[in-house]
Homo-oligomer: A and B are copies of this chain.
């Protein structure tokens, strides 16, 4: 085969490239290079640069906090830096070259998180093996559009169905999985690696086969930026209609679509809901507003303390929440689970502490799981791993 490749390469190289697609460039730099000892070398060719740094979720001792390291310039104009040994995780990073933020030109794998592209890599051999695609049965990920009469539009969501769903005839329980502010229906599948986590947990027998429905909590959008009618708009982390009750109030449109279109266990025992940050706020409110609907509730770094009182929002979703909480307690549920990083933003940490105090005050059961780190995907992936194993048992 070698000869064919050389012939084709020659043909390409000897021909003017300007009229061809930009597919033939292969960056000769190896970056990131993950070494056997789990150190990682970053490299970028920048002969004319004065200063190059890498910023990423690389501070493993501090719960994968963001840290910046300077790269060192080699004689060939290639800058490099090798990290300390890194534990098994999925990492994100970007370079800054003379003050300009850039993805690693040698690493084509970048994930958009709200408005920022970051490169990613995985160090295996531990927890992050759950984030890898392994040679096991895989579920299906489908991007579908559902009718939301409550928002007077068609909206997009993602549905994970576990391996075997299509060839079986049984009903499946459903986990609704909600993103944070500025996220969308792609976030849990990108940075969150939700499909890989579910595939791996189910294949290992650690989680029950379940459908996972990944929604878009910004009802001002019909779909993620670039995939909706607004076009390739600039993603912002604050949008109207994210915390005004409208998403929660119209969540019934989503449940109706899912239960009409999939073989679902349409019982409280067959429904779970969880979300990160704003999605945790949504989760708490949806589980109050739709009484006796969910047996499993998961709040991941939930944005509970961010809502000031009397801010002009009049949604019935946020009315009489104390009474609704007592109703939820009385109706009962199997698991109310909260995950929180000790380095999270103070108002969020405090908001959750206050909520736990409120629950304690009315003898309402929950489980609280505190981890290292802050408001990070490292924690949210980890929380999903823990929470998913507790569902539908």
Contacts and interface: CB of A to CB of B under 8 A. Distances in A.
A46 interface: yes
Interface stretch (A8-16, A208-216, A331-339, A383-391): A8-16
A116 B25 contact: yes
Given A113-B21, A121-B232, A140 B143 contact: yes
A192 to B, nearest CB: 11
B145 A142 contact: no
Contacts of A344: 19-20
Interface stretch (A35-43, A219-227, A248-256): A219-227
A65 B19 contact: yes
A113 B22 contact: yes
A67 B22 CA distance: 11
A11 B350 CA distance: 12
Interface stretch (A130-138, A264-272, A360-368): A130-138
Interface string A81-122: 000000000001000011111110111111011111110111
Contacts of A15: 345-346
Interface stretch (A170-178, A290-298, A303-311): A303-311
B26 A237 contact: yes
Nearest to A308: B7
A83 to B, nearest CB: 16
Given A98-B97, A142-B142, A22 B92 contact: yes
Contacts of A118: 22
A250 to B, nearest CB: 17
A7 B99 contact: no
B115 A108 contact: yes
Given A18-B65, A375-B20, A143 B144 contact: no
A109 B374 CA distance: 27
Interface in A17-58: 17-27, 30, 44-50
A100 B45 contact: yes
A262 B357 CA distance: 52
Complex copy number for this chain: 2
Given A19-B341, A19-B373, A133 B229 contact: yes
A4 B307 contact: yes
Contacts of A47: 99
19 contacts: A1-B240, A1-B243, A4-B313, A5-B238, A9-B238, A15-B345, A19-B66, A22-B92, A23-B116, A46-B100, A48-B50, A100-B102, A103-B117, A108-B115, A108-B116, A108-B225, A122-B231, A132-B231, A138-B145
A275 interface: no
A46 B134 CA distance: 42
Contacts of A235: 108
Contacts of A117: 103, 108, 110, 117
Given A19-B376, A223-B133, A374-B20, A99 B1 contact: no
Contact of A99 (B17, B20, B48, B144): B48
Contacts of A24: 237
A24 B117 CA distance: 12
Given A11-B306, A306-B11, A112 B108 contact: yes
